[in-house]
Structure formats: structure tokens, C-alpha cells
A and B are shown apart, each in its own frame.
Chain A
């Protein structure tokens, strides 16, 4: 995504009306698995496409980090949805979601090992070969780490990006969550990542429970996450930033304020 899209929002059926009413909006994201590959595109998305808003399919169930090869049917679905939406790119996670035939129901962290890098690289290659557009990879928020990490987070991610040629979808809220839970410095990670590979960023809210910060997507975006958006933008402003909200939707006024805050923190024009 070489084009600057500014501030966007994750399109969800529950807030489709709100999203449709954003006058300056230039891009949204849709959960890829929620779009049928046969049959029409959801009405709200079709309307956005008609007014030139880019729609990025965001996969959550490919399991690119699984030791097993990605399911060709899931890859084909993602490719079809990307073509249907005329998407500039697609995105997925550096994570695994199933193993041994069992669904975890969530994005799970990988050990930061060379073996895991190999697994991701092989699956991204299998996926990219079928896709009509580039893929951006998103590092996740991990509640726990594996006991045998060989690489730092930056080295792990950089190795994957270099070997796959993929773009980076940097989730600022995940950077914040991981740093807070591990007691590390989020700016150190920003300084060590290849920021020029960022296709776009995620921004989301979270909450602390029992001493652990959870990237819930159902709480307000906390001020330190917005400060990180500013810190990143000062280093190298990402071409686009997207607010992710996945439930407990607040009044429209509050969502607008969050979008405006992201615009202010990154220096992009407000889309509201």
C-alpha cells in the first residue's frame, strides 16, 4: 500500500451505518472470513466501494504460524475475497489458531525460534502464490510467551518480513500490550523494526484484568497507545492507521472522538 489512506476503521455489520456516514473515509478493513466468496458483497461494503473507499480483507483463521501447511481452501477464499473487493492488499497474523485438528478459537503466539520462522515463511509463500495482491503480516498481542525463545521480537519479525517479502501490519495496541505485560520498552521495539515496510497500523482499546493488559477491542483506546501513534509517526508516519472495535460499541460521538484522536496523533486529516 504505497498510497496514503490516512485514518480508517474496521467495518463491522453492527457499525455499518456509522462507517457509511464518515465523510472523509478512504479505507476500511473487513474480517475476510465474514465475506462470502460466492454471492454478493455485503451491501454496506459495496456502497463504500462505489464511493472509492478501499476495503482490505483481514484474515484471522489462516494459521500462518501453524507447523502444518495452510489449508488451500482458506487461501483460495482469501484470494477470491481480495479479488471481489478489488483490494489493494490483504492482511493476516503471525500466529497459529489450530493444531492437531483442534481450533484454539484465538490467535496464539509462536515461539520466537528459527523453526517457527521457517514455518511462517513456508505458509506465507504458499499463500502469496495464490493471492492477486500483496500480503501484510500482523504481529499479535501475546498474553504469555513460549519458554524457549531464541530471537528478540524485532529479530523474529524482521527475519519473517525479509524472507517473505511481506509488508508489515503493525498493531500499535499490540506493541503497547506486549511491552506493558513483559515490562519492556515499546519505543525500543519501534526503533528496531523495519518501519518502511509498514502497510498500515491497527489502533485499538484494551483493559487490564488481574494484572494483565488485554487487547480487547471492546474498550476505549488508552492515552499511552495514542502517544505511541505519535511516537511512531514522528519516526516514520505509516501510510494508514485503522481503528479496530469489535464489540460493546460506544455511542457514535465516542467513536468519532477516537478516530479524531488517531488523526491528531498521526497528523492526518480527520475523517469524521
Chain B
């Protein structure tokens, strides 16, 4: 088997990140161990980027993140947390505020990477947010 390293690497990444079957010949148990470790690592990284979201789920954070992320390859911790936070709406308390502040400060359509809004746009949106929450 030579000349197809690119395809075989892609198959392995798909098995680890997208729920695709483990490629033939690999130790399925050990690849599963790696997949679990990967999800744990991602959960920790997203928790650092979205501390209030993670804190709001407490001991359920790890399992909630893993269930959401098991078939979703990472787009980076910040964007992963953004997607997960939106999927868990309505959020409450600090987690809701964390998401609202980021919705105000970032333009993110869920398709392309989030981009920071101008300072003026962020201020206006934060104001609107405060008015609405009165």
C-alpha cells in the first residue's frame, strides 16, 4: 500500500473526528481511546475559550461537549464554543451573558470564521443588549 498516504490520513482523521469507521488494520480499541482523549482535550480547550458556558454545565460539561463534538471536526476552540453555545440556547445567567457579549463583538454567520466587529458597532450592539435586558 503506497502512494495513497493522503487518502489514508484523511480516512483516519475522519474516523477520529467525524464518526467514520476505523480504517482496516487499525486497532479499533486504541483508535477509540485516541478519539476519547481528543474529545477530552477539545473540551478543555473550549472551556478555556468559553469559561461561563462550561461552568454553567458543571459536571455535565465534558459529556455535553463530547456528544456535540463527536461528529464535528474542530473549527478552533472559539468557533466550536460559539456553535455549541448557540445550539444550547436559551442559556441563562453568566453563560447567556457570555454568548450575548460575543454576539455583540463578533460577526459570525455560522459558516465562515467569526470576524471582530468595529468598536462602534460593538458599542451600539452592547447598548441595544442592555436596553433589551431591562
Contact = CB atoms under 8 A, between A and B. Distances in A.
A108 interface: yes
A99 B37 contact: no
Given A212-B30, A247-B44, A104 B5 contact: no
Contacts of B17: 102-105
- Interface SS of chain B: helix
B74 interface: yes
B38 A102 contact: no
Given A143-B37, A147-B25, A108 B30 contact: no
A128 B37 CA distance: 32
Which interface class (under 10, 10 to 19, 20 to 34, 35 or more) fits B?
A: 20 to 34
Given A102-B17, A106-B38, A148-B25, 5 more contacts: A103-B13, A104-B16, A144-B30, A148-B1, A209-B33
A144 B5 contact: no
A181 to B, nearest CB: 8
Contacts of B24: 147
A100 interface: yes
A36 to B, nearest CB: 14
A176 B29 CA distance: 21
The 3 nearest A-B residue pairs measured at CB:
A147-B25, A100-B10, A67-B6
Contact of B73 (A96, A102, A147): A102
Contacts of B41: 105-106
A102 B37 contact: no
Interface in B96-131: none
B91 interface: no
A245 B7 CA distance: 34
B37 A100 contact: no
Interface in B40-95: 41-42, 44, 73-76
A143 B3 CA distance: 24
A66 B13 CA distance: 11
A119 B5 contact: yes
A212 B33 contact: yes
Nearest to B28: A144
Contacts of B74: 103, 105
Contacts of B12: 99, 108
Contact of A102 (B2, B5, B10, B76): B10
A113 B37 contact: no
A212 B31 CA distance: 11
